[in-house]
Amino acid sequence: MTEELFALPSSFGQRRLWLVEQATQGNTALYTMRAALRLRGRIDPDALRHALTTVVERHEVLRTVLRLNGTDIAQVVYAPGPVDLPVREVSGGLEGAVATADELSREPFDLAQGPLLRCTLLKLADDDHVLLALVHHSVCDGLSLRVLLHELTLLYAPSLAGTPHTLEELPIQYADYAVWQAEQVTSGELDGQLDYWGTRLAGVRDLRLPTDRRAGAHRDWTAVSAPVKVAAPVVRQLRLTTASTGVTATMVALAAYGVVLSRWSGQQDLVVGMPVAGRGDVALEALVGFFVNTLPVRLDLSGDPTFAELLGQVRDRCVEAYSNADVPFELMVERAHADRRAGRLPLAQTLLNVQQPAPLGLAEIAGVELEPVDLPDASLHFDVVADLSEKNDAIGGHVSLAADLFTEETARLVATSLTNVLRAAAAAPSTPVSALPCPVADAFAARDRTEVEDPPADEYEGAHPGGSAPSSDGLPRTPAEHLLTQLWREALEAPRVGVHDEFYALGGNSMRAVRIVMAAREHGLELPLDRMLGRHTIHDLLAEPVPETADSGELLTG
């Protein structure tokens, strides 16, 4: 890459993804965004490379890396420069291109070194190519991929002709958004919304689904999937069965998804994550960046409501969530004092994404036919995801489950359950949710759950509300315990810290955990960040051997 221009504050979402990368030690391509475009016809790779270079020049975030700057995460922006577009010959036609795309997608990004955009031109024949774009999620989201492909195709013709392009200069950049986001929080503008989430999510518990197998020490984050298809009349009928107005197909899908998850888990109180674009200002629509936010919608199925009653509740909860959608997900987690475990997203372990199909807005290229290429899910950072699309009330798509926890048969059962619940509810909306057909719940009910479920709650909760083990006095005794109690007091601004006090129950957050890791390192004590990001106490951290750095004498001498 070229020379560094400047360092700017990161957004809340970027900090979260940086923390995930540190916790997984950069060993996964968990947050790689992918887009592929087939180009049938003669193209000039050099002109396409020049167009790509121009796109990266326009969007600072595409020449940005994320680095620890002191005790905070900064966006480091590089100067514009030529962008590489390697050409790779592929055999096997489109199937070969998809397989190659999957192979290239598995190579992790280095957030500190970059680049965070990798494009490859897969050559199927002299007049048949697939353009593959891989971008780290910290600088991109789904709508950003549309912006990227739109500008790339629009800039190809002037790049080929050697003439100036007509795209207007961008009035703002993603870093401006990150600064504005931080100002919203510090100014108190979001206090009302933060209070809403604190109240709505108080006491929320993790979703605990019975699984086919126990997760190993390290998750592989691959997925098994099954298709979902629901006809438009079924969804239309359900939209008309509740007294609430403004019920959308997304709300219908959420109500049915909630039924499946509740029946499967046996939990009547659960949270489903729902992505929103996060581009409330029209000026953000033309930008590449990480704007998408996750709304944790909490559903209450206690009392065995009818499907129509549940759908009315879902409508109200969604409207409330959309009205308070400016709060970054990371702050919702903090305000809710959500349960934290290493390697597991707090608040929402499952996601429902319902999109309306929209044209990519590709510019025409003379003599070239452009066609998007569908790439199957390469990774999954939730336990269960329903990724659906809706057109004129018809719903299609797929459900994906974590492959190290679930089998393909369970994925099929979940997809079938979602479809069956919708069809049965459309025929009889006054049916209690407990009586709706749910094959995945029936299948797991027939198994010995003691062999497949997560460890019982008391393994996580302990005898202390914050997850701490009981202690006679909680006083530090070893040099390492004395060091960490001092660092915790400073980071948490707490007058007293005991070795059995839980970090997040005392007001800790992810960035404070990072600051403690960095400060401990300066004193010769190396703490595992993945354990710091989950629920822990000082006693927990030091219960297993923790490696010391070369300069461990400072720790031992104070």
pLDDT, tens digit, for every residue of 476-490?
Answer: 888 888 888 888 888
Q: Calculate mean pLDDT across residues 198-212.
A: 93
Nearest Cα to Cα of residue 521 among 551, 489, 486, 558: 551
CA dist 247 → 211, 317, 400, 430 (Å)? 33, 11, 26, 17
Among the ranges 130-139, 325-334, 469-478, 480-489, which has the highest mean pLDDT value? Answer: 130-139
For residue 178, the Cα-to-chain-centroid distance in whole angstroms is 18
pLDDT of residue 164: 94
Average pLDDT value for the chain: 88
pTM comes to 0.85
Answer with the residue of higher pLDDT: 422 or 68: 422
Structure tokens at 354: 């319902």
> Which DSSP helix (H) or strand (E) runs through 339?
none
Tell me how many helices (H) and strands (E) the chain has: 18, 14
C-alpha distance from residue 215 to each of 117, 210, 337, 344 (Å): 31, 12, 25, 12
Structure tokens at 304: 């065995």
Higher pLDDT, 550 or 305: 305
Residue 556: its pLDDT value, please?
Answer: 36
pLDDT at 100 over 50: yes
Residue 101's pLDDT band (cuts 50, 70, 90)? very high
* Residue 2 reports pLDDT greater than 90: no
Least confident of 185-194, 340-349, 408-417: 340-349
pLDDT value of residue 335: 87
**For the purposes of burial, counting CB atoms within 10 Å of the CB of 156, is it exposed (0-12), middle (13-18) or buried (19 or more)?**
buried
Q: What is the pLDDT of residue 378?
A: 66
Residue 39 burial class via C-beta count within 10 angstroms: exposed 0-12, middle 13-18, buried 19 and up: buried
Eight-class DSSP state of 404 = T
Q: What is the pLDDT of residue 321?
A: 97
Contacts (Cβ under 8 Å, ≥6 apart) of 459: none
* Least confident residue range of 110-114, 322-326, 409-413, 524-528: 524-528
**Which of 6, 4, 92, 23 minimizes the C-alpha distance to 531?**
23
Quick one: CA torsion of 16, 207, 533, 321, rounded to 10 degrees?
A: 40
Instruction: Report pLDDT for 470.
Output: 41
pLDDT at 512: 82
Judge whether 488 and 506 are in contact, CB under 8 Å.
yes
* 309 three-class SS: helix
In this model, does residue 15 exceed pLDDT 60?
Answer: yes
Quick check: helix, strand or coil at residue 36? strand
The pLDDT assigned to 549 comes to 43
In the chain, pLDDT over 90 holds for what percent of residues? 65
Distance CA 80, CA 29 (A): 25
Mean pLDDT of 269-289: 94
Q: What angle do CA 359, 362, 368 make, to 5 degrees?
A: 125
pLDDT band at 462 (very low <50, low <70, confident <90, very high): very low
In whole angstroms, how far apart are CA 332 and each of 43, 202, 273, 296? 48, 11, 12, 9
Neighbours of 134 (CB within 10 A): 22
pLDDT for residue 279: 93
546 pLDDT higher than 70: no
pLDDT at 68 (0 to 100): 87
